[in-house]
Structure 1
């Protein structure tokens, strides 16, 4: 049993890291709303918008090792302070710079910032096995606060003042994140197992990869396009509200996902929520855009703490730091491919087929995670 003071300190550190990410994240998520709808305002094409929304994910595939090495050496305080200041620079650039090349540079910088911010939230949430699932759920809830408020308000401000003005406001949010980061612990993190190259994904990483393609890629990019095609002039406000619902769901429901994982097992809950997500994706791809999108966003929120919990369970001790980073890389590979696939497929392919097949792939990978956990539990019982 871990003593109460240690657990209280772990809760505090996880909360501070989550709030830092919450304050920096709006400068990224608003691009997913505005770039597909207003590419001309940023001096780019729709196809270039898909590449830009993928670029921040793809750079993390190659940059996570360097981020991990820096993070393990310098700890949470210095790493997240630098990341928050760099995110502030990206927000300024999103407001003032135009053209594919300039925006691509900003997306690459933000990708490395998010890698550090995201890694810290996961490592601190799982710092102690006791209460890790609940702590992960609460962490996701705090992270969701910033984007939940920024998306609908940003959509309204964009309608009134244009899609570039909102990013200048968000520089102050990133600055507040840097101030909070200074309260994090400065201790470095030991890495287990020495240097590791990217390996073939295990069952959890495979699920993260497919979920990245389907939900963080195809669905998020397609949300703006589906709303624009079917809802007409109110598309920006509706899409902003739906994306805000994504983070409201994370704030309210991610803790419930963590509680469910603690009580019923993370792999069983992952399978259940994946099946329901497939049904919601099929509805979203048809005429029930709003209902299907709402269902996907709610279920995504419930799933978020489950993967972190599974990775930490299968990689105890210091090994979890590298395992969490590796799992994040596979998710980023999928989420990087998703917007590019969406930009290529959705203009020419049937949306119901695209999203239904994506849902089936999520279910198949969730079955793999559940089966792997069932086998491990059986071996443990026999031992």
Structure 2
């Protein structure tokens, strides 16, 4: 039985059933569901993205110290590490529409908290709430994109591009409004944006997803688990902190707008390049492309550690965007049937663990060790993990 047993998703393999109709005349139900799920996340994600920009720069206006701001920004990832299993079970039992509607409500409450609450202990529940909401929506986008394995890489690439559209538009606009109105008022605007997610979420199927009949046992991490951990550790952790640490004096001028434009550039690259990565994966194979791009990323990381900061940073952003659509289709092919939802959640957990520990490692190592060796070792580990994925 297919994992997507909902009536709306069952005919996904026959989008051109009518005689004489061109094969690509209308998107399949799988395409529609993937787009609505991605659009829902695109509407709720800007609140979190703007907080990453504004909270460290305006910590006193939020009633927190810089150290407390760091804890708040990490809290949503930490709660996902602990709670992804529960979220995956809830999502499988309730289906996409109820789960996404609940996640939109939670995201709206979180944005309202960012706009009105102050202090660590009042803002912390908002971050935990958002972390669980993002886990649910992220799992939905990946599941919907891989409902039909035919064209899953292309579908996942388009999904990533839609998701990135929200932060790309919100970051520069949020920076300008923060300068004019202060850092809190922009979140009232984002509440209205998030509320639009109720419309897209209601378009999703509501049927539950089947779950495995046998209980999962504790097992060693797979090669894809290790790669997901090291990809998060290296690119979402070591690289981001290293860029801020090593390149903090390279961009003079308005600090808020400059940081917003840099963050928006990353999401813009996802809009442009994630669909390209999906098309490449359909032609070359997702595993083969994953290994090739990871090895190239490792090479560029060595150059980044050697001192070619801006050129290598730009190349890493490009390579990361191309890699984004690859993992969910690989997981779906390797774990077909009811186990797919839990497998997708497991990959997300490993990536979050890597992305959560990477900044800590960077903060400890960058002041005391040569940057070349830090990034050369990270690159070597990423390369080995990518090569291991070929053997599963």
TM-score over 0.5 (shorter chain): yes
Equivalent residues of 1:27, 1:167 under 8 A apart: yes
Residue matched to 1:244 = 264
Residue matched to 1:294 = 314
1:2 aligns with 2:13: yes
SS at match of 2:324: helix
Residue matched to 1:141 = 161
- Distance change (3 Å), C-alpha of 1:306 and 1:16: same
1:317 aligns with 2:337: yes
Equivalent residues of 2:13, 2:28 under 8 A apart: no
How far off is 1:171 after superposition? 1.0
How far off is 1:262 after superposition? 1.4
In the alignment, structure 1 segments of 5+ residues that lack a partner are 374-383
Residue matched to 1:78 = 98
The answer to which of 359-368 and 255-264 deviates more is 359-368
How far off is 1:105 after superposition? 1.7
- Distance change (3 Å), C-alpha of 1:228 and 1:44: farther
In the alignment, structure 2 segments of 5+ residues that lack a partner are 1-11, 18-26
Distance (whole Å) between structure 2 residues aligned to residue 258 and residue 297 of structure 1:
16
How far off is 1:193 after superposition? 4.7
1:176 aligns with 2:176: no
Distance (whole Å) between structure 2 residues aligned to residue 237 and residue 356 of structure 1:
32
Distance (whole Å) between structure 1 residues aligned to residue 331 and residue 163 of structure 2:
20
Residue matched to 1:376 = none
How far off is 1:178 after superposition? 2.0
Provide, for residues 42-74 of structure 1, a one-character-per-residue CA deviation record: whole Å limited to 9, x for no partner.
333333333322221121122112111211111
Provide, for residues 143-189 of structure 1, a one-character-per-residue CA deviation record: whole Å limited to 9, x for no partner.
11101111222222233333333222211111111221011111111
Residue matched to 1:92 = 112
Residue matched to 2:24 = none
Q: Whose radius of gyration is greater, 1 or 2? A: 2
SS at match of 1:233: coil
The answer to which of 12-21 and 255-264 deviates more is 255-264
Equivalent residues of 2:95, 2:206 under 8 A apart: yes
- Distance change (3 Å), C-alpha of 1:369 and 1:11: same
Q: Aligned-pair RMSD on alpha carbons? A: 2.3
User: TM-score of the superposition, structure 1-length normalised?
Assistant: 0.89
1:21 aligns with 2:32: no
Residue matched to 2:137 = 117
Residue matched to 1:104 = 124
SS at match of 2:95: helix
Q: If each structure's helix is expressed as a fraction of its own residues, which one has the higher value?
A: 1
The answer to which of 223-232 and 207-216 deviates more is 223-232
SS at match of 2:189: helix
How far off is 1:227 after superposition? 4.7
How far off is 1:209 after superposition? 0.8
